[in-house]
Structure 1
Amino acid sequence: MAPNPHREPSFGVVCDVDGVLPVTHVRRQLGRVGALFNRSPRDRRSVLGMPNLVRHLAYSDLEPAVFYLTAAPELSADLLTDVLTRSGYPSGTVVPAGGDLAPGWLVGASLAPKRAALDRLAERHPQLRWILVGDDAGPDPELFTDFARRHPDRVAVIALRQDRLQPKRVREDLPGVTVVAAPNAEEILPHLDTSLHLRPRRRAAVDAWFLGAAERGNDATRLRAWTTDNTVHPLVHGRTYFATLAEALAAAGRGDTVLFAGWRADSGQLLTDDGPTVAEALTAAARRGALVRGLLWRAHLGAFGYHLEQNRAFATDMAAAGVKVLLDQRIRALGSHHQKAVVIRYAGRPCDDVAFVGGIDLDRGSRDDARHHGDSQAESPDEVYGPTPARHDVQVALRGPAVREVEDVIRERWDDPAPTTRLPWHVVADRIHQSPRTAAPLPAPDRYPPAEGTCAVQLLRTYPRRRPAHPFAPLGERSVARAYAKALRRARRLIYLEDQYLWSVDVARIFAAALRRSPELQLIAVVPRRVDQKVATRAAELGQREAMAMVRAAGGTRVQIFDIENDEGRPIYVHAKVCIVDDVWAVVGSNNLNNRSWSHDSELAAAIIDDERDPRAPDDPGGLGDGARLFARRLRLDLMREHLGCEGDAELLDPDRAADTVRARASALDAWHAGGCRGPRPPGRLRPHHFGHDARPPARHRWLTIPAYRIVLDPDGRPLGMRLRRAY
C-alpha cells in the first residue's frame, strides 16, 4: 500500500543514504573492508534491512514525506534515485548536499553541507516533525543532535544504525526526542514502532511474506513473482519421493515432456524395491515417445571427492536411448549446479502435470525411509554414519501453475547459448567422450496447468554473477537469500529449521537479528552430527561453530540445535533443506544455509503459503493476522512427530510448548545414553548437537585452513559491493 498522495503530511523522514550506497567515501569503504574479516558472533552490523525500515515508515499511518540526504553532487540525483529504487527503497526526494561538485564527499567531509541541506529542508517544510535516520560511521550523530537542538519540537526520533565496532554514543538529553540505536534495521524497528506508537498495517499474507517482482532483483527471468491455486504434497524421505516419481514416469509416453536438473545422478539407483532404476524409468519413457532431457552438473573428479565419472556414465547411458543429458559447467569455476528438480508435462492431460523440487538427487544413498536404516545401494560406508548411512531428506510435489514455473527454470538453463564449459581440459575430455556441449532447442512449452489447490508457490533461486553472463540472470540472482531475509522479518514465535550445514556467519546474522528483535521467538534447528566434507572437516566445523555461536548469542536458551539418530542409536545424516516460520511460510529446496548456497552455486527452492488455515489453537501464532497455514503447520508437525516419537500434535501446536517438549525429550534421551543405555529407551531421536572438537583450534587452522575453507568450501559469490555492505 502506497502513501496517500492527497494527504498533507505532518511527518517527514530524512534518511542519510551515504552509509548504504554501494559507492561511498574512502574512509567508510575502508571500514567495510575491515568488517569483512570480523567473525565475532556479536558483530550484527548490516544494511540488509534498511530499505524495509524506510518502507515501514513510509507506509505507516504517519504517511510521512520521505527525503534521502547525501553529500554527493547535485548531478548525481537521478542516478541515486535509480539506485535507491532498485535497492527497494520507497519513492522519495533525493537531497544532494554537495552542490555542483563535492570533493569533500570523497573523503567523508560532509557535516557542513549536510547541516545546510537539512536546515533548508526544515525551512521549506515548517509543518513537518522529523524522523532522522542514519548511522554512526559518518557525521549523523553530530548532525542530527545539532539539528534537534536548533529546531526544538521539530524532531520526533533519531534512529542510528551502529556501523562502528565501538558505537559512537549519542547524547540523549534532547527534550522530546527519542534516540534509537542498534547494529541493524531489524533491531531498530521495534524501538521505532514504540517511540512513534506505530502499528503494522494489515497486508495480504502472500504479499507480506513473498518477494515482489522487483524484490527478486532479476528483471531478466521469465518467472512470475509467484503462482496461486497449486496443490503441494510433502514427500518426506527418498523412498517416498522415488516411489512417487517412478509412478509419474511410468505414465509418461508419446507427446509428453520430462525435464530434470540435478547435482548427481546414478543410472543404477532403484526407484522402488523391484525397480525400475533411474535410467530404466527415464529411458522407458523416451521409448514410449516422451521427450526426455536433462541437465547435470559436470562435477569434479572422484579423486577430489566428487562424481564426474558417475555423471558422465549416466549421460552416456541416457544417450544410448536417445536422451540428451548436458554436463553443465556454466557456473563459477569452484561452483556447482545444485538444483534438484523433475518436471513431467502430459500432453492433453494438464491436470496430471507434476513437478518435484527439493533436496533429493537421483543418486545412490538417497532412498531411505522413516525407519532410517539407510539405502542398501549406498555407495560407500562412513565411520560415523555406518555401512549404509541413514539419510533424512524432503522433496515436494507440485501440481498446478507452479509446474510451468519449474519447467521454465530448467528451460532457461537449457536455452543458454553458451557452451557447457570453456575450460580447455574439459573441452578435450568432452570430445573424447563425445559429450554434447550445446543444446538443441526444446519445443515450445504448453500453457500453464489449471488451478489445482489452495497453495501459493514462489520459486526462489541462486545464480552467481559470472562471465559470460547467464541470459536469464545477467547480474546473478539471490532470491533465496532475499526471501529468507524478508520472511524472517515477520518471525515472531517459532523458526523451525532442518539443514545440512548451517555454517556461515553472514547467514546466521539474519537469524540473529530476528532473535534479538523478537524476544518470544524460538529457533529449533536439526543438523547432521558431522559435516560431510572429505577434506578440511575441522575447518568446516569451525565455520559451523561461528554461525551457531552467533545465533546462540542472540537467542540464548531460545535457540536449540540438535542432530538425530535412529532407534538403534546410529546417527542420521540430515540432508533436508527446510525452513518453517510461524506456521505460515514454508520453504523446501536444494539450498543450504551457507554463503555457497545463497550466492555462489545454482539453487532452487519452493516457498509455500497455503490459503487454507488450521483452526486449532494457537490459530495465529505470530500475532500478525496471518493465521496458521495448513501446509506449513502440517509439515512442521509431521517432521517434529517423527523426530520426537510423538503420537499426536497436542504437545507441538503451541510454539512455546513445542520448544519445551523438544528440550525435555532430547534431555531424557541424552541422560539415557549417559547412564549406559540402561532401561527402556526414551522416545524420540533428537540429541543436543555437540562439536567433535571443543578446544580452540591451533593457529594453523585459524590462519591457513579457515581462509581456504571460505574460498573453496563456502565461497561468497556476491559482488564485492554487496559483500562490503553485508547485503544480498
Structure 2
Amino acid sequence: MLPAEWYLSAHERGNPSTRLDRRHADGRAWTEGNLVTPLIHGKAYFSALAERVPQMGRGDLLLFVDWRGDPDERLTGEPGSEVASLFAEAARRGVDVRGLVWRSHWDKLAFSADENRHLGEDINAAGGECVLDMRVRLGGSHHQKFVVLRHPGRPERDIAFLGGIDLCHSRRDDSTHAGDPQPQSMAKVYGPRPPWHDVQLALTGPVVGDVETVFRERWDDPQALSRSPIRRTLDKVRGDRPPRRPLPPQQPDPAPTGPHPVQLLRTYGHRLGGYPFAPRGERSVARAYAKAFANARHLIYLEDQYLWSSEVTALILAALRRAPDLRFVAVLPHQPDQDGTLSHAPNLVSRARLLERLHAAAPGRVAAYGIENADGTPVYVHAKVCVVDDQWVTVGSDNFNRRSWTHDSELSAAVAHPAFARDLRQELAREHLGTDTDLALEDHFDAYAAGAEALARWHRAPAGSPRPAGRLRPVDRPEQSRLTRLWADPLYRFVYDPDGRPLDLRLRRTF
C-alpha cells in the first residue's frame, strides 16, 4: 500500500490552523526522504544526545520539550553528563538553547514541579531560555518529549529526537533491564531500581523542519504561560519568568537523507482560550490510529504504558470484527507505577474491562503480556509503539487512552515503510523472546504465546530448573471487588482518563 493510504491528508488531520501541513509545497501532510533510526531504551537515546550536543557551536539552535526533566540525570552515567550541565554548557558556548517544560502538578502528588523548575534555572543561568509551560486544559499536561538540533551552515548535522523518553531519572536503562542507577520512586513491585522499557526515534531529513515547527507553534503562542495569579507571583519572586525572546528565522528543511516517509501526529486538548495553532484542539493521533486500524488485516502489535477507555476499545473491536484473520498483541506493564490507594485500582479497572471485551469479541486472537528481567522483577513498559501489518508504525509520547488521544499535548511520528516496520517489530520481539532469530509476521502471535507459556512453566517448576530465554508472561490481571470497581471506575473516567474534545465531537462520539 502507498503511504497516502496510511497517512492522514491535511483535511483528515482536521486542524486547518496549523502551519505543519501548509508548509509543504507539494501539498502532502508528511515528508519524504527521511532516515528514521529507532533508539531502543533510554541508554541508546541518552548516548546519542550526549554525543551530538557537545558538537554544537555558536549560532546553532537547540530546542527541547519535556514532561519531566531531572537536571542531575547523567546521560552517560559519568559526572559532567547531567542533562542540565549538557544544555547549560551548550548555552555558554553560544548555542541558542530554548526549552518548553511542563510546569507540572505538585511533587506531593507524585509529579515533578520542583525538578522541572530547577532544570530551567540551570539553563537560564547559563544564557539559555527554558520556560515552565502550563497552557493546558484543567488537570492536563504537556506530555510531548522531543529535542531538535539545528546547525545553520551545516544542515547535514540537523537531527530531531522524539518518542516516549523524558530527560529524567529511571529512563537510562538498556536491554538487560537492570534499571537506571538514578531511579525514581515507583511501586514496590518494581524494586529499588525499577527496570524500564522505552523507545525514542532519531530523525534526519526534511522531517526535522516539521518537528521544529511543532516547537515554534507552541513557543510563539502569546498566551500567558499560566493562568494562576499565585504561580505568576511566585515566578516573579523567584526570578523564574525569563522573557520569551523571538526565535531566529527558521532555516530551510534539511536535504533528504533516507527512504522513509514520516508524518507527525499530535494531540492538543480543546482548552479555554484555545491554541492559535489549534483553536479546537487537534486529535490527529486518534484519527491516524482509526485509519491504520481500518487497513489492518493480520497483526496489530502494541507496546504501551496504558490500555484504557471505551473509545480505544471501539477502534480495536471494529478492526477485529472486520478482519477475521487479524490478531492483536499488547505488551503492557504488569502493574501501575504507583502503589497508592487512589492510583492502583483506577489504573487497572478500565484495562481489565477492555481486555475482557476484546477476548470475548475475538477469542484466541487477543493476547496481553508483561515483561520481567532475569531476576524476575517486572519491567515497567513506558514505550508507546504500534506496528500494523508490518506496514505502518507510530512511535511517540501518546498512550492508548482517551487522555492521550484528546486531552494532553502529544507528539508522535508515523512511518509507513514496510522494511522499517518489520525491522522494528522484529527487534522488539528478539529482545522479549531472548532470541537472535527474526520473527515472521504470521508467526508473531503464536511465538509470543509459546514464549510466555515456557516462562510460566519455569516459574511453576522446581527450583534449579534452567530458565528459558524469554521475558514475557501474561499480564497481571488482579481480581477487583465490585466495591472497588464502584469507586475506582468514576475516578478513572473523570480524573485519570478525561475527555478533551469539544462538546459536539463528544456527542457524536468521534475524534
Give the TM-score taking structure 1 as reference length.
Answer: 0.68
* 1:713-724 equivalence runs, <5 A: 713-724=496-507
Instruction: Give the match for residue 632 of structure 1.
Output: 421
| 1: CA distance, partners of 2:89 / 2:446 | 51
Letter in 2 for 1:635: L
Secondary structure at the aligned position of 1:520 is classed as: coil
Deviation track 1:679-698 (CA, whole Å, cap 9, x = no partner) reads 10012000011223x14331
Q: Mean alpha-carbon deviation: is it higher for 515-524 or for 373-382?
A: 373-382
| 2: CA distance, partners of 1:676 / 1:445 | 64
* 1:583-602 equivalence runs, <5 A: 583-602=390-409
Instruction: Give the match for residue 253 of structure 2.
Output: 448
Shift in Å at residue 353 of structure 1? 0.3
Contact 2:390/2:441 (CA < 8 Å) preserved in 1? no
Letter in 2 for 1:680: P
Structure 1 stretches lacking a partner, 5+ long? 1-203, 611-628
Q: 1:425 to 1:697 in 2, by over 3 A?
A: farther
Secondary structure at the aligned position of 1:556 is classed as: coil
* 1:481-560 equivalence runs, <5 A: 481-533=286-338, 534=340, 535-560=342-367
| 2: CA distance, partners of 1:239 / 1:695 | 37
Structure 1 consecutive aligned stretches of length 4 or more whose deviation exceeds 4 Å = none
Secondary structure at the aligned position of 2:325 is classed as: coil
| 2: CA distance, partners of 1:710 / 1:261 | 28
Contact 1:260/1:295 (CA < 8 Å) preserved in 2? yes
Deviation track 1:291-324 (CA, whole Å, cap 9, x = no partner) reads 0000000001111111101111111111111111
Instruction: Give the match for residue 454 of structure 2.
Output: 668
| 1: CA distance, partners of 2:5 / 2:262 | 14
| 2: CA distance, partners of 1:264 / 1:658 | 34
Instruction: Give the match for residue 236 of structure 1.
Output: 40
* 1:48-59 equivalence runs, <5 A: none
* 1:402-441 equivalence runs, <5 A: 402-436=207-241, 439-441=244-246
Identity %: 50
Contact 1:263/1:296 (CA < 8 Å) preserved in 2? yes
Q: Is residue 245 of structure 1 aligned with residue 49 of structure 2?
A: yes
| Partner of residue 414 from structure 2, selected from 585, 588, 607 | 607
Contact 2:42/2:172 (CA < 8 Å) preserved in 1? yes
Shift in Å at residue 273 of structure 1? 2.4
Deviation track 1:277-297 (CA, whole Å, cap 9, x = no partner) reads 111111111111110000000
* 1:196-207 equivalence runs, <5 A: 205-207=2-4
Letter in 1 for 2:217: E
| 2: CA distance, partners of 1:695 / 1:308 | 33
Deviation track 1:456-509 (CA, whole Å, cap 9, x = no partner) reads 000000001112110000110000000000000000001110000112121121
Deviation track 1:598-632 (CA, whole Å, cap 9, x = no partner) reads 0000000000123xxxxxxxxxxxxxxxxxx1110
Letter in 2 for 1:686: L
Letter in 2 for 1:281: L
Secondary structure at the aligned position of 2:319 is classed as: helix
**Aligned-pair RMSD on alpha carbons?**
1.3
| 2: CA distance, partners of 1:705 / 1:563 | 23
Number of residue pairs aligned between Structure 1 and Structure 2: 501
Q: Looking at CA atoms only, which structure, 1 or 2, has the larger radius of gyration?
A: 1
| 1: CA distance, partners of 2:385 / 2:137 | 26
Instruction: Give the match for residue 12 of structure 2.
Output: 215
| 2: CA distance, partners of 1:609 / 1:351 | 24
Secondary structure at the aligned position of 2:362 is classed as: helix
Instruction: Give the match for residue 430 of structure 2.
Output: 641
| 1: CA distance, partners of 2:184 / 2:488 | 28
Shift in Å at residue 543 of structure 1? 1.3
Instruction: Give the match for residue 468 of structure 2.
Output: 682
| 1: CA distance, partners of 2:56 / 2:313 | 43
| Partner of residue 256 from structure 1, selected from 31, 49, 60 | 60
Contact 2:143/2:409 (CA < 8 Å) preserved in 1? yes
Secondary structure at the aligned position of 1:580 is classed as: strand
Instruction: Give the match for residue 725 of structure 1.
Output: 508
* 1:707-718 equivalence runs, <5 A: 707-718=490-501
| Partner of residue 99 from structure 2, selected from 291, 294, 307 | 294
| 2: CA distance, partners of 1:538 / 1:719 | 29
Structure 2 stretches lacking a partner, 5+ long? 22-28
Q: 1:549 to 1:721 in 2, by over 3 A?
A: farther
Contact 1:591/1:605 (CA < 8 Å) preserved in 2? yes
| 1: CA distance, partners of 2:432 / 2:184 | 26
Instruction: Give the match for residue 653 of structure 1.
Output: 440
Q: 1:212 to 1:677 in 2, by over 3 A?
A: farther
Secondary structure at the aligned position of 1:459 is classed as: strand
| 1: CA distance, partners of 2:228 / 2:502 | 23
Shift in Å at residue 554 of structure 1? 2.2
Contact 2:267/2:281 (CA < 8 Å) preserved in 1? yes
Secondary structure at the aligned position of 2:208 is classed as: helix
Shift in Å at residue 647 of structure 1? 1.7
Instruction: Give the match for residue 313 of structure 1.
Output: 118
Contact 2:433/2:448 (CA < 8 Å) preserved in 1? yes
Contact 2:335/2:476 (CA < 8 Å) preserved in 1? no
| 2: CA distance, partners of 1:677 / 1:213 | 59
Deviation track 1:609-661 (CA, whole Å, cap 9, x = no partner) reads 23xxxxxxxxxxxxxxxxxx111000000000100011211xx2132x22111
Letter in 1 for 2:4: D
| 2: CA distance, partners of 1:426 / 1:672 | 54
Letter in 2 for 1:526: V
